[in-house]
Structure formats: structure tokens, C-alpha cells
Amino acid sequence: MSLLFKGRNQGAQRIKVSKLQKLFMFFSDNLRQAVSSLGELTRAPFASLMTIAVLGLSITLPAALYVLVKNLDRVSSDWQQASEVSVFLKENIAQQDIEQLIKRLKTWPEIKRLEYIPADKALDEFTQTSGFGDALQYLESNPLPNVILVYPTSRHAQPNSARDLLDRLLREREVELGKLDIEWLERLHAIVAIAKELVTLIAVLLFVSVILTVGNTIRLNIYNKRDEILVMKLVGATDGFIQRPFMYTGFWYGLLGGIMAWITVALILWWMGSSIDRVINLYNQSFQLRGLDFPILISMLAISVGLGLLGSYLSVKRYVAQIEPK
């Protein structure tokens, strides 16, 4: 008898599963359930496509607005001349004093570069471009002052910093007048700030709708498989094992919806590219519209998958637990 038990114990030891085998079985089981959940989507292609389309279009709008704001931000950063400070020097100031002023200004950390325009050069340029060349020849003296164009650094190109720089320049004894288009700067930065807040608000609202859409779809799937879930619980299946296929369904919804959103945004940018180029050419500017680069694409897919998983998790945690055999 003891030999029989000994043989049984030895047999039990021979079929003992190692940790590596358990890990392999875990991943193989998850892979099987992931493929099976993808197959479930293909069994009802129309309903699955409708859900994926809702997710994709819900993610498309914030993604397209993000691309718009990103390009608008690039345009505003490229228009550094909007924060250009025109410093008009006092009349009859000595050339040596002007050179000393330029040397002092070059040491200021707020200033990126300077451009000195003598009065004679300014008059020549005005004569060539204004169309009043003949009339200007009758002037007894040059009415234009010496000008220094001050270009702030990107850190000090914001409206408040640019205004502080202008006030500091006006305190220099050689300076008569300074000009800065503060209102244009403030309007530009205000528009960009509002656009960023609008994108965030719309993204939050649409992301909530994605979670609700996925959650409701998974809820319906759970109710459709109620009898199957009851049988699985009767034979001892855990809630985690039952919930896993539904979680993978949410994963596929999120991934496919994110891919659809990326394709839609790319088509929108391609469609609008020629129109944007025509507008940019009217201002004699060179600008290339940028779409979703690879890091942003990965982030968008990660957000989409995360929303799908979150919607699935909220449904399975609530509704699977409610199904219990009586």
C-alpha cells in the first residue's frame, strides 16, 4: 500500500508544472483569448464597425484640433517680428554715443540681436519703396531719425516681457521713442491660449463619450453571453478569467478606433493642404503643415487603447459580478 502511495507521489512530482511553464501558459492563454475576442468582432462586422467608427470619429476631432493648434503655435513662434522693438534715437546724437548704446544693448540678456538703420539708409529705402522719390529730393534735410531694431529672445518675446523690455529701452538717455505692437502680440497669444483650452475641453468631453460608448457595448455583450457566463461560474471559472475576453474586446475597439482616427486626420490634412498653401502664399510665407508625427501617433493610440480598456473595465467589474448562479 505504501508503495502505491509512493508511486502516486512520484507520479505527481513528475507532472509538476514549473514557473516557466506557468508563465508560458499564462501568455498563451491570454493570446488565445485576445485572438478569440478579435474573432468575436468579425462575427458581427456591421455592429463592430459602427462602434469603431464612433470611437474613431470621437478621437479624430481632438486630434485634428491638436494638429491645428500645434501648427498655429509654430506660426506664432515664427512671427518673431511681431515682438520687434523699434527704438528711435534722439536728433543730432553723436555717432560715438550710438555705438556705445549698441554695445550696451548687446550685453542685455533679453536681446537676441540688433539691427542699426542709419537715417540716410532709411531715407534711401523709403525713397525707393514709397513712390515719392521725386518729391523727397526737395527736402532740405532728412526728417527720419536713426533707428535700432531690437529683437528679443524667445523667452522675452511674450507680451508682458516685451513690454518690460520696451520700458527699459525708453530709460536710455539716447532713446527718444520706442514702438512695439503689443496689441497684436496680446491678441495672437490670447487666440493660441483659447485654442489650447478649447482643445483640452473638447478632448475631455469626447474621451468621456468614448468610455461610455465602449462601456455600453461591453455591457450588451455581457448580457448576450449571460448563460455562457453562468455555466462558466458553475464549473468554477473565476471572475478574472471571465472578464479577460471582454477586456480584450475593449482593447481592440480602442486600437482600431485610434487607427481610424489617425487615417482620418491624415486625410483631412491632405485635403486641406492645398488650401492652406494658397493662403500662406498670399502672405509670401513659406510654411509646411505638420501632421501627427510618430511620438504623437503612439500617444494617440495609447490614449485610445486606454479609453477602450477603461470603458471595458467599468462594465465588466459591475455587470459580470452581478451574474451569479442561483
**Helix or strand run (H / E) with residue 252:** helix 239-282
Find out whether 195 and 68 touch, Cβ atoms under 8 Å: yes
pLDDT at 5 over 50: no
CATH number corresponding to 85-179 = 3.30.70.3040
pTM of the model: 0.64
Q: What is the pLDDT of residue 289?
A: 67
Rank 73-77, 91-95, 96-100 by mean pLDDT and report only the highest.
96-100
Q: What is the pLDDT of residue 2?
A: 44
- Tens digits of residue pLDDT in 282-318: 554 556 667 777 888 898 899 999 999 999 999 988 8
Q: What is the pLDDT of residue 139?
A: 58
Average pLDDT value for residue range 80-89? 73
Cell numbers representing residue 230 in the block? 453562468
Q: What is the pLDDT of residue 182?
A: 66
Where are the CATH 3.30.70.3040 domain residues in the chain? 85-179
User: What is the rounded average pLDDT for all residues in the chain?
Assistant: 79
Distance CA 88, CA 179 (A): 8
Find out whether 246 and 317 touch, Cβ atoms under 8 Å: no
- Tens digits of residue pLDDT in 121-173: 766 766 665 555 555 565 556 667 888 888 888 777 777 788 888 888 888 88
Q: What is the pLDDT of residue 83?
A: 66
Average pLDDT value for residue range 209-228? 89
Which of the two residues, 193 and 25, has the higher pLDDT score? 193
Which of the two residues, 180 and 260, has the higher pLDDT score? 260
Exposed (0-12), middle (13-18) or buried (19+): which is 157, by Cβ within 10 Å?
buried
Rank 77-86, 92-101, 151-160 by mean pLDDT and report only the highest.
92-101
Q: What is the pLDDT of residue 11?
A: 45
Q: What is the pLDDT of residue 7?
A: 44
Report residue 185's pLDDT band, with 50, 70 and 90 as the boundaries: low
Average pLDDT value for residue range 46-75? 85
Which of the two residues, 259 and 47, has the higher pLDDT score? 259
Distance CA 100, CA 151 (A): 18
Please state at what angle helix 294-322 crosses helix 45-78, rounded to 10 degrees: 140
